Amino acid sequence: MARLYSNENFPLPVVEELRRFGHDVLTIQETGRANQALADEAVLDFAWSEQRMVLTLNRRHFVRLHENRPDHSGVIVCTYDPDFAALARRIHLAIEASSTAAGQLLRINRLPR
């Protein structure tokens, strides 16, 4: 299973569901770095130092970071979906389908209703 690092804005219920799937998810709150207005680069650097993929809803900034700095442990950008279980399932399936995490950008979009 994947080692993940959730950004500050990422929904905790999705994190909990990903843990039920067996993923090792560390939250920014658990690291004591919440509410510090950390730059996205610092989030990416910490994830890289811990060999974790970043989980975020901050699509625009992290896609740009991925394009400018492809030397990372992976980035998963998601569209907000209030169906947290469905979002977690889509993330889980995308991780399983990916051959490697390093340097990868996974885009997880909300399904049309």
In a domain, 55, yes or no: yes
User: What are the φ and ψ backbone dihedral angles of 104, each rounded to 5 degrees?
Assistant: -90, 150
CATH number of the domain that 50 lies in? Answer: 3.40.50
In a domain, 113, yes or no: no
Quote the number of domains for the chain. Answer: 1
Q: What is the pLDDT of residues 79-107, one digit of tens each?
A: 999 999 999 999 999 999 987 888 899 99
Average pLDDT over residues 11-26: 97
Q: Is the pTM of this model over 0.85?
A: yes
pLDDT at 106: 94
* 37 confidence band (pLDDT: 50, 70, 90): confident
Q: What is the mean pLDDT of the chain?
A: 92
In a domain, 83, yes or no: yes
- Burial of 47-59, coded b for 16+ CB within 10 Å and e otherwise, reads bbeeebbbbbbbb
d(CA 102, CA 72): 6
d(CA 18, CA 41): 24
- Residue 33 is part of which domain span? 3-108
In a domain, 77, yes or no: yes
User: What are the φ and ψ backbone dihedral angles of 89, each rounded to 5 degrees?
Assistant: -65, -40
pLDDT tops 70 at residue 113:
no
